[in-house]
Structure 1
Amino acid sequence: MTAAPTVPSPYRPRRTAAALGALLAAGLCGTLLTGPAPAAASAASAHEGLRVHDIQGDTRLSPFAGETVTDVPGIVTGVRGYGSRGFWLQDPEPDDSAATSEGIFVFTGSAPRVETGDEVLVTGLVGEYYYGGEDAGGQSVTQLSQPRVTVLSSGNALPPPVVLDARSLPRHYAPSGADGIEHLPLRPEYYALDRYESLEGMNVSIGDAPVVGPSTAYYELWVTLEPHRNRTVGGGTRYASYDAQNPGRLKIESLVPVSQVPFPSADVGDVLTGPTEGPLDYDEFGGYTLAARQLGEVVDGGRVPETTRPQAPDELAVAAYNVENLHPRNSQDKFDRLAAGVVTSLAAPDIIALEEIQDDSGPSDDGTVSAEETLRRFTDAIVAAGGPRYAWRGIDPEDGRDGGQPGGNIRNVFLFNPERVSFTDRPGGDATTRTEAVSVDGRAALSHSPGRVTPEDEAWADSRKPLAGEFVFRGETVIVVANHFASKGGDQPLHSRYQPPARVTEEQRVAQAREVNSFVRELRRVERDARVVVLGDINDFEFSPVTRTLTAGGALRSAVLTLPPAERYTYVFQGNSQVLDQILVSPAIRRFEYDIVHINAEFADQASDHDPQVLRMRL
């Protein structure tokens, strides 16, 4: 999943609560488009008599951006004293347009001096704020900044919430606009993103809603307003194609400090029982968000981590597991939980391709590249959990050349059970030397084992290089290629102001897939029935151009497609259950059984953010 520096998921940078709060408070974590400051505006240029719906307008951009508005009336519907500090203002006297929001965020920068229920007049500068910066591709939040606030009265009734549910949400996701949809008139009756935008800043509520994204360390979870759309076996919502964005996904945060009321721990399959009510917000980390003044209760849906069956004596079990930046400074608990996943959940596979093994100094950028201590601790933990004494093979990368967390030098590594399989060692493989398809006794083999696949090719710049190894099981050779393709960090989000959003990182993954596909073809040219397994964190979907490139010409077959659609997911991102990890096999591997073992991605308490996968085959 990692490819850009400090990226813990394939999509977005890691954020700490303290760092994000400081940046937002300082106005540095995004772009604010306003024009001249209020001090530069004359009294004549200030707009009087405007209501919130006038400021919001019927597009995503305010017609008054960059201008000062005076004495805008409304009721405070929510106060945020952390992160981007401010409050939401809503006009209790709406106009008759469904496209113009009656709510707006007032950015104060410091702790707001108003309370929910206050009737206020606000003078301030109208702006469009882009969380994460304008270049990130997200939408903007219309807001008032540098405000002067007059409190007229307190304890007023709040405007009644707009109820969000499946009936009120259009089935179409967004209008098309490769050059941007910001200037298009909103059609809230036809597009879900327009519906949400027409309610930006307004008081909304939801009833009982299934949890489709587990709660996180950032005190957030995802629900769906459409419980029957693309439902997974775990109760989540599956991302099934580029046209299946699942409009019902909605992020939930709480406006109540966790020091007063702890944020609930929720897993996919749980239910957030209502009412949950508060202003509708937007940010870069998930799009439209219900900032809850009142948060419902999480009811346990009974989802528990899965286990797969053990392989039969004549079955070779090959697994892949992204262990999320594993290094010796991690707690023993993380090693133990990952080890238990290998032994109990995966039933101790014969071969495991690991992704995100870091060097022995972890994120310290001190020139260390060896991962011997990381692997020793992990294999010791597996033994302690009742598993076999795994051996390992890998190749240390060049320092700082494989992407991922700076200093971490993540790489792919093979574990294997020497009681069940043997590894064919052919020396000479290193960080920059490619392994070639060669013939040994008429069979496909590797010139270097372990070896790297075309490590010098530009496709692998600042990215993990595939690791190839030659294994023997019951006298039969199997060549395994472990992968961790470039991340999606940098792609425009699904809720982008550009529709369809640009998948700018896809080009590199397609190039990587082309290299792996060519390597498999070379092996099959040497031996038509070569048994090849390609697996790992592909960082792309089973329906993507990347997967089509991997399987081009019939070189490989994706085992994911043998599962029922509702079981096809290894990762949960912003409420979408999706495939990022895959196992693909050459045509000579005909008899196999594939399983994605759901032990992490759907759960708030996870040892890794990816689910492992295993393929059992008879040779």
Structure 2
Amino acid sequence: MLSIATFNLYNLGAKASPTRLVRLGIIVTRDLGGPDILAVQEITAVDRALPGGAVPADASYQALIAAILQAGGPHYVFREIPPLANQDGGMTGANIRVGLLFNPATVNFTDRGNAGPEDSVGIRFSHRQPSLTINPGRITPAHPAFAGDNQCHWAPSRKTLAAEFEVQGQRLFVIVCHFKSMRSTTRREEDYAKKQRHAQAEIVHGFAADLLACDPQAAIVVLGDLNDGLGSKTLKLLKGDSFHNLLEEMPRGQGYTRRHGGQPQTLDHILVSPVLRRGAVVRVPHVNSNAAHGEPDPASDHDPVVAVLPKWVYSAPL
């Protein structure tokens, strides 16, 4: 069995208050059960960029990892590809990005290559199995759907991170997403943002579908803050005919992950390939969305989503 979760951390940086970090450590440890793999969104870094323009967030990850360890959770390590300064959207100057925490005692991660923020990950096919050309790597970061396009009225957005793990001798692909924000001031802006999310969903689905074309038994998880709800066109494009959204199996009214104006929304999702669907169990601890409105220094404005996945076997073991 493998546990995997997604959590939007609401612009979390190294200078977050001790109280907030303590609460996050408790959520990951107690409410999520210290998942083997934790996909995160909205990790921030405001420090000076490296010579190439990238802005790493090592201190932010280490602050979170220390808080989890202090709460009795696993001693995680992290992987990310730092974005170029002010090129991934979100709060001005925060340089938010997606990343991965994982427990090296339960899953293995082999770094491959040294990808930069503008490098695109590919798929290599060998011994009847797909693998990533770089690990981790970004999926088409220069595509207008992610890099922005003035003609389409698309702003730069978070890039999607693909990673390859080994779990008990089996390969697992994890794709972490944070699609274009729903935030808009006019109906026209809302429409532009929807179309950008649709394009992002098509790109990510295409990459995941290519992995499945190489091996129909490939174990693939696509997860993150997709900024769209169940039944939306974004989710339909991302799922296609091959992937299943685990939140669709939750009882009606329980799968929400955020509140806007007091109304529940399901924005954070975990999708799996066919080999992982049977026996998978998902839950949403409502640790943030049901908190008192206006609570000072909230842990996040999103709830995490955690899934326990069944043991799977590839057609050709590693």
TM-score, normalised to structure 2, is 0.89
Report the equivalent of 2:258. 571
Letter in 1 for 2:33: A
Letter in 2 for 1:394: E
Report the equivalent of 2:283. 595
CA distance in 1 between partners of 2:75 and 2:239 (Å): 34
After superposition, residues 154-165 of structure 1 pair within 5 angstroms as none
4+ aligned runs moved over 3 Å, structure 1: 501-504
Partner of residue 517 from structure 1, selected from 187, 202, 205: 205
Query: Do the aligned residues in 2 keep the contact of 1:468 with 1:480 (CA within 8 Å)?
Result: yes
CA distance in 1 between partners of 2:85 and 2:47 (Å): 12
Query: Do the aligned residues in 1 keep the contact of 2:286 with 2:303 (CA within 8 Å)?
Result: yes
Note the alpha carbon deviations across 1:243-277, whole angstroms, 9 max, x for none. Answer: xxxxxxxxxxxxxxxxxxxxxxxxxxxxxxxxxxx
User: 1:368 Cα deviation (Å)?
Assistant: 6.9
Report the equivalent of 2:308. 616
Asked whether 1:446 is paired with 2:128, we answer no
Partner of residue 527 from structure 1, selected from 206, 210, 215: 215
RMSD of Structure 2 on Structure 1 (CA): 1.7
Report the equivalent of 1:61. none
Q: Which has the higher helix share?
A: 2
Query: Do the aligned residues in 2 keep the contact of 1:520 with 1:555 (CA within 8 Å)?
Result: no
Asked whether 1:508 is paired with 2:196, we answer yes
CA distance in 1 between partners of 2:83 and 2:190 (Å): 31
User: 1:504 Cα deviation (Å)?
Assistant: 3.7
CA distance in 1 between partners of 2:60 and 2:88 (Å): 18
CA distance in 2 between partners of 1:547 and 1:409 (Å): 26
Asked whether 1:546 is paired with 2:238, we answer no
Asked whether 1:536 is paired with 2:224, we answer yes
User: 1:418 Cα deviation (Å)?
Assistant: 0.5
Report the equivalent of 1:487. 181
User: 1:476 Cα deviation (Å)?
Assistant: 1.0
Query: Do the aligned residues in 2 keep the contact of 1:446 with 1:469 (CA within 8 Å)?
Result: yes
Note the alpha carbon deviations across 1:467-508, whole angstroms, 9 max, x for none. Answer: 111011111111000010000111658xxxx9xx96441000
| Gap regions ≥5 residues in structure 1 | 1-314
Letter in 1 for 2:305: Q
User: 1:583 Cα deviation (Å)?
Assistant: 0.5
CA distance in 2 between partners of 1:370 and 1:324 (Å): 17
- Inter-CA distance 384–608: structure 2 relative to 1 (3 Å threshold): same
User: 1:358 Cα deviation (Å)?
Assistant: 0.6
Asked whether 1:395 is paired with 2:81, we answer yes
Query: Do the aligned residues in 2 keep the contact of 1:491 with 1:505 (CA within 8 Å)?
Result: no
Bigger mean CA offset, 421-430 vs 458-467 = 421-430
User: 1:382 Cα deviation (Å)?
Assistant: 0.8
CA distance in 1 between partners of 2:142 and 2:220 (Å): 22
Report the equivalent of 1:54. none
CA distance in 1 between partners of 2:158 and 2:55 (Å): 13
- Inter-CA distance 421–502: structure 2 relative to 1 (3 Å threshold): closer
How many residue pairs were aligned? Answer: 294
After superposition, residues 463-478 of structure 1 pair within 5 angstroms as 463-478=157-172
Letter in 2 for 1:612: P
3-state SS of paired residue (1:513): helix
Letter in 2 for 1:519: F
CA distance in 1 between partners of 2:145 and 2:242 (Å): 19
Whichever of the two has the greater Rg, that structure is 1
Asked whether 1:385 is paired with 2:77, we answer no
CA distance in 2 between partners of 1:410 and 1:595 (Å): 26
Letter in 2 for 1:521: A
- Inter-CA distance 489–443: structure 2 relative to 1 (3 Å threshold): same
Query: Do the aligned residues in 2 keep the contact of 1:437 with 1:444 (CA within 8 Å)?
Result: yes
Letter in 2 for 1:466: T
- Inter-CA distance 510–368: structure 2 relative to 1 (3 Å threshold): closer
CA distance in 2 between partners of 1:417 and 1:549 (Å): 31
- Inter-CA distance 445–329: structure 2 relative to 1 (3 Å threshold): same
Bigger mean CA offset, 438-447 vs 320-329 = 438-447
User: 1:340 Cα deviation (Å)?
Assistant: 0.9
User: 1:456 Cα deviation (Å)?
Assistant: 1.0
CA distance in 2 between partners of 1:596 and 1:358 (Å): 24
Note the alpha carbon deviations across 1:540-564, whole angstroms, 9 max, x for none. Answer: 0011110011012x13111110111
User: 1:317 Cα deviation (Å)?
Assistant: 0.4
3-state SS of paired residue (1:478): strand
Note the alpha carbon deviations across 1:394-429, whole angstroms, 9 max, x for none. Answer: 101111110111111111110000011011221132
Query: Do the aligned residues in 2 keep the contact of 1:484 with 1:536 (CA within 8 Å)?
Result: yes
- Inter-CA distance 510–324: structure 2 relative to 1 (3 Å threshold): same
- Inter-CA distance 551–519: structure 2 relative to 1 (3 Å threshold): same
User: 1:360 Cα deviation (Å)?
Assistant: 5.2
User: 1:529 Cα deviation (Å)?
Assistant: 1.2
Q: Which has the higher contact order (CA 8 A, sep 6+)?
A: 2
3-state SS of paired residue (1:428): coil
Report the equivalent of 1:347. 33
Asked whether 1:557 is paired with 2:249, we answer no
After superposition, residues 305-320 of structure 1 pair within 5 angstroms as 315-320=1-6
CA distance in 1 between partners of 2:185 and 2:280 (Å): 34
Report the equivalent of 1:297. none
Bigger mean CA offset, 589-598 vs 344-353 = 589-598
